A and B are shown apart, each in its own frame.
Chain A
Amino acid sequence: MKSHVWRPLFVVIFIVAAVLVTRKILVPPDFGIGSRGYMYGWHRPSNEQEWKAVKVKYRTAEYCKDCHRDKYDEIKQSPHANINCENCHGPALNHPDDPKALDIDRRRELCARCHFRLEYPTSGRGKIRGIDPATHNPGLECVTCHWPHDPRKEGHHK
């Protein structure tokens, strides 16, 4: 057969080879079918490790307890026992190394998340004692009169 018949075939073979080589280089070696089969498990398993390595920012009250035992004990005996320290104090991260001090959220809006009175009888919200932020001492921080670690106590003295 004449060479002009073969030439396009060589081009096609070259393209196919090039695609296969690039594919071999670009696709990571661990890419494959995971435990969930082809339809749901086709992935790069090293990505699972990448997700597991994400930094934990909220360390929970158990982390705070070691140094701030007094505060921990006080809130755990109060009606606010279920509120985690970091909900108001912010994520602990590597405190006290980084950050050295936490940014405490003392805004009225924070307390209003639960204590803005909503008359919802079929929800737990309706059972929480609440106020209307528009009429209840507007402009003042709640901690001026209410001690958040134990709301049965009065005032906020630093």
Chain B
Amino acid sequence: MISRRSFCKKSLLIAGGLAIPFAALELFDPKRLLAEKNDGKKTRWVFLVDTHKCVGCGFCVKACKTENEVPYDAHVSRTWVERYVVTKDGKTHIDSPLAARDGFETKKIDIGEGKFEDIKDADIDKAFFVPKLCNQCDNPPCVQVCPVGATYQTEDGVVLVDRKWCIGCGYCVMGCPYGVRFFHPVYHVAEKCNFCYHRISQGMKTACVDACPFGARQVGNLKDPDDPVTKIIMTERVNVLKEEYGTKPQVFYLGLTKEVR
């Protein structure tokens, strides 16, 4: 026979037990908590490009290709410089011959397949150069799509590719909205700009920053409030590329206009 007292006790226990969600039974994992907490990190590498200063010399591309052993004559590059020429008829002409490895050797715009478009100086409304490189996004779509864990983001924000694990499926090449990734012609795995990880991790600047004679490129640590790059990003009117994709890119630009894609 069940007593009134024990019936009340047991039914309360069952009701209380049902109320506990399964998540509450999960063991506490301090590592996971640390991973979810965003602070505590000392470094977040970011890049600043001043398009007013860039003159399209292409020394950055030359240095990058040599420093990072990307075959010099192959039509791929970790970084490149685009030329934008906006003419009085409202058209925008964009080119980047050989990623601007040799700079821009002609006034004509390279429209591909060996064809060039002539533009008269008098027709130009505005013309400028925009260097491009990996944006080391906070939400990198290229990392999300990797099926084998061959590409990943380090604690300091740089997206790297594990050459031993990449299977060459090309999802990341398609996934990057900035067209930064390509296949390395020698290793046949995904390749991308990594802010010269071997240089920045030992206190140097990236090869392209060192090669730029005009200070158009700068690399800095966003977590350091005294970093000159951080100061500019925090106080001046900077912009990023393709913000609408939600990738949270970390390459900031000064002097972008609507023509830049």
Contact = CB atoms under 8 A, between A and B. Distances in A.
Bound together:
yes
Nearest to B56: A125
Interface string B8-22: 000000000000000
Query: In terms of DSSP, what is the predominant structure of the interface of chain A?
Result: loop
Contacts of A50: 163
Contacts of B162: 43-44, 47
The size class of the interface chain B forms with chain A is: 35 or more
Contacts of A51: 160, 194, 197-198
Nearest to A43: B152
A123 interface: yes
Nearest to B148: A42
B75 interface: no
B154 A122 contact: no
B66 A128 contact: no
Contacts of A109: 102-103, 105
Contacts of B103: 109, 112-114, 116
Contacts of A54: 68, 197-198
7 contacts: A36-B152, A40-B140, A41-B153, A57-B67, A87-B211, A123-B52, A124-B214
Interface of A: 31, 33-37, 39-44, 47-48, 50-58, 60, 80, 82-84, 86-87, 90-91, 109, 112-114, 116, 118-125, 128
Q: Which 5 pairs show the lowest CB-CB distances between chains A and B?
A: A43-B152, A113-B103, A54-B198, A120-B127, A125-B55
